[in-house]
Amino acid sequence: MSPFCCESAWLCLAATTAVLGGIILSRSKSPRQLGSRVVCFAGLWGGACLLSLSLCYSLLLFSLSCFLMYMYSSDQELLPVDQKAVLVTGTDSGFGHGLAKQLDKLGFTVFAGVLDERGPGAEELRKTCSKRLLVLQMDITKLEQIKDAHSKVLEKTQDTGLWALVNNAGVFHLPIDGELIPMSSYRKCMAVNFFGAVEVTKVFLPLLRKSKGRLVNVSSMGAEVPIQMMAAYSSTKAALTMFSSILRQELFKWGVKVAIIEPGGFSTNFPGTPDLWEKMEKDVLDHLPKEVQEDYGQDYIQLQKDTLKIMKTRSSPDITPVLRDIQHAISSKNPFPIYTPGRLTYLWIFIASCSPISLLDYISQKIFKPKHLPRSLSTPY
């Protein structure tokens, strides 16, 4: 074979592989999904590598790239709804509230777990959704309420069974240094964000095993990326992510598929109201030892409420990407193990996973550096 033919073959294979990768990247319905991104980058990387490999290895790499692209891009059909039953926790507001409405419109039988069955969120669901949706009083830190919800779900789904459980309920805390976060806030975050989700999962897993259904746990980008001022919240979400990853392997033999949703910055009322911020600030100040309060200063603590305001302004008000990914995890024949909705979410998780720690810390210090310094560090000697 002439050198010209070999060179032409290399160029043709390189261009074809790169184009295939680019097409999947551009046409992906949810480019934030980790699996899709891996495939896209693999295709583009393969195209570049083909330029410097022998024809034999080029053919092998080309075949492998095409196979991987086919595996990830095909067979992503959505299963029929058929009034499948889905339980969603934390539907008073935010992601859970929007998801309950969307699933109801699609024809699912929705069990909407709420913290307050008489609250405005619960009332809105009753008014705007179909009769298929049932609001359940479900404080996930109270086992008796979880078991009561289980009894009602079991009663309503005797014929169809429970197809999916979405653990969405969660709590936040005042963004502030880990040293200043009261132990009560650590315990509350752990009780809701981790232990509550685990408790609900354990109670409802027999129904999911019976239906060979889906377990979807809503975690956070903070579970993978260390973000200053989020010690309590991110730590509990990291625990939930690891719990989900282990269950994904353990439940495989039962036919139950587990998906983790790790959203980036989205604007919901999740952080709470100004009144709640005042209460959290007071809780911080009331539990500080005198020496710690002198080092940080009361002004520093009070200024941390600005972080919440910044979070709201910089977050995306459109939660559609999150709802779309959760719906895909529930309905797809082959859901992805991890979804990362949100602008640059995937990139941040990639950097946190692959870059040297010193580089990650440097980048984080530049991007997430607090606007204010503690009194002892800002006062000249």
In the numeric block, which tokens belong to residue 146? Answer: 């979880």
Q: How far is residue 255's CA from residue 82's CA, in Å, rounded to a whole number? A: 19
Closest CA to 65 of 53, 77, 76: 53
Measured on CA atoms in the order 362, 367, 370, 372, is the torsion positive or negative? positive
Closest CA to 218 of 360, 311, 342, 133: 342
Closest CA to 217 of 246, 239, 197: 197
The active-site residue, picked from 57, 70, 72, 233, is: 233
Residue 176: partners with Cβ closer than 8 Å, 6 or more residues away: 229, 284, 301, 304, 307
| C-beta separation of 349 from 224 below 8 A | yes
Q: How far is residue 167's CA from residue 152's CA, in Å, rounded to a whole number? A: 18
| C-beta separation of 289 from 315 below 8 A | no
Rg of the chain over Cα atoms, rounded to whole angstroms, equals: 24
| C-beta separation of 256 from 208 below 8 A | yes
Mark whether 346 is an active-site residue: no
In the numeric block, which tokens belong to residue 124? Answer: 């809105």
The residues carrying an active-site annotation are: 233
